[in-house]
């Protein structure tokens, strides 16, 4: 029996710019279609950190070039733009790969809004990295000139950070569920979803934020009643004491050990920490649910129990 699987794709599965993305999605589609070929229902959520930063920078430069002609583009709209163009490449790559293997299924991208709380404290403390990596000098210049919040990102360079509120629910969940149940491969909650909150009446207003795609994928997986959440990242397994001589790879994480490692500061914020937290949130949401953290190219082996870190409730 196949499983209903929600996959959270890391940035390494998409590249950092348009030419890189065109190449990356072909490799990504091959790994995902392996799972479809095995009889699984698959829903895909992806990140958009580099892409949404690139879009907003481009929009900012347009406004600077002619402020009378162009108006500033809200971050929520930039998220929507990134969903569209990443989804376009992903669904086409998936469709092509499935047809090459004789699999007759549709692939569709759902422009997805995700509800957040406007009073979420995250709006006061930006933590979500977006855009490309920079030197400290470049980051400090943007801090001065554009009033950006910048941080050093897990030893990899400096990046802009924005608010990252907790996702509460998927607005288009019924549409996504209908597509899954009619045997479509769905790309949804791209970039963590377009963050929105309710205002007067039935109006949804975009928020100046980027939702972490791993947390959004966990909420999506819960609402779709998925069997498995697969979080794909740049390492084959989760590790404690990462990068140190006594580094230890983990095959399995229980809620108790995961919480202890989190309390001990074993997982880097903005890197492995949200992946473990999201995996734990899904695995604990109902008996029998599990989450897997591994490499894209190891996803099939991970689901078969051969590798990766399995998080159990």
Q: Which of 262, 267, 166 is nearest to 207 (CA)?
A: 166
Under 8 Å between Cβ of 23 and 15: yes
Identified catalytic residue from 10, 11, 49, 270: 11
292-295 long-range contacts (CB < 8 A, ≥24 apart) are 292/228, 292/229, 292/230, 292/231, 293/231, 293/233, 293/237, 293/238, 294/230, 294/231, 294/232, 294/233, 294/236, 294/237, 295/232, 295/233, 295/234, 295/235, 295/236
Ramachandran region, residue 265 (left: φ > 0; alpha: ψ -120 to 50; beta: rest): left
Identified catalytic residue from 12, 34, 57, 92: 12
Identified catalytic residue from 10, 275, 302, 308: 275
- Compute the distance between CA of residue 5 and CA of residue 35 in angstroms, rounded to an integer: 9
Q: Other C-beta atoms within 10 Å of 203: how many?
A: 9
- Compute the distance between CA of residue 241 and CA of residue 267 in angstroms, rounded to an integer: 8
Under 8 Å between Cβ of 156 and 135: no
Number of residues assigned to the chain: 313
Identified catalytic residue from 10, 213, 222, 308: 213
> Catalytic site residue 213?
yes
> Catalytic site residue 26?
no
Which residues are CB-contacts of 287 (< 8 A; sequence separation ≥ 6)?
313
Identified catalytic residue from 48, 49, 87, 128: 128
> Catalytic site residue 306?
no
> Catalytic site residue 128?
yes
- Torsion angle in degrees (nearest 10) through CA of 43, 274, 20, 136: 160
> Catalytic site residue 155?
no
Catalytic residue numbers read 11-12, 128, 213, 275
């Amino acid at each position: 029996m196949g499983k209903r699987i929600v996959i959270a794709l890391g940035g390494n599965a998409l590249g950092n710019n348009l030419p890189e993305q065109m190449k990356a999605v072909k490799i990504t589609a091959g790994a995902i279609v392996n799972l479809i070929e095995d009889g699984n229902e698959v829903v895909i959520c992806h990140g958009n950190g580099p892409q949404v930063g690139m879009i907003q920078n481009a929009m900012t430069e347009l406004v600077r070039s002619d402020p009378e002609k162009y108006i500033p583009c809200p971050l929520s709209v930039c998220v929507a733009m990134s969903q569209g163009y990443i989804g376009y490449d992903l669904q086409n790559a998936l469709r092509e790969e499935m047809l090459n293997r004789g699999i007759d299924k549709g692939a569709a991208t759902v422009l997805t809004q995700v509800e957040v709380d406007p009073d979420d404290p995250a709006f006061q403390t930006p933590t979500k990295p977006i855009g490309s990596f920079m030197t400290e000098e470049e980051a400090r210049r943007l801090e001065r000139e554009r009033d950006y919040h910048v941080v050093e990102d897990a030893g990899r360079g400096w990046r802009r950070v924005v608010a990252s509120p907790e996702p509460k629910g998927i607005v288009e969940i019924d549409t996504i569920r209908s597509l899954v149940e009619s045997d479509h491969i769905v790309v949804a909650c791209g970039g963590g979803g377009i963050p929105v909150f309710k205002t007067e009446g039935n109006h949804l207003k975009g928020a100046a934020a980027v939702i972490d795609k791993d947390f959004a994928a966990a909420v999506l997986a819960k609402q779709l009643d998925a069997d498995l959440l697969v979080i794909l990242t740049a390492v084959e397994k989760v590790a404690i004491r990462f990068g140190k001589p006594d580094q230890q790879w983990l095959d399995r994480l229980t809620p108790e050990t995961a919480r202890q490692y989190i309390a001990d500061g074993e997982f880097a914020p903005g890197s492995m920490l949200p992946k473990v937290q999201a995996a734990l949130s899904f695995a604990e949401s109902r008996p029998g649910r599990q989450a897997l953290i591994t490499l894209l190219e190891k996803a099939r082996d991970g689901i078969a129990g051969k590798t990766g870190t399995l998080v159990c409730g």
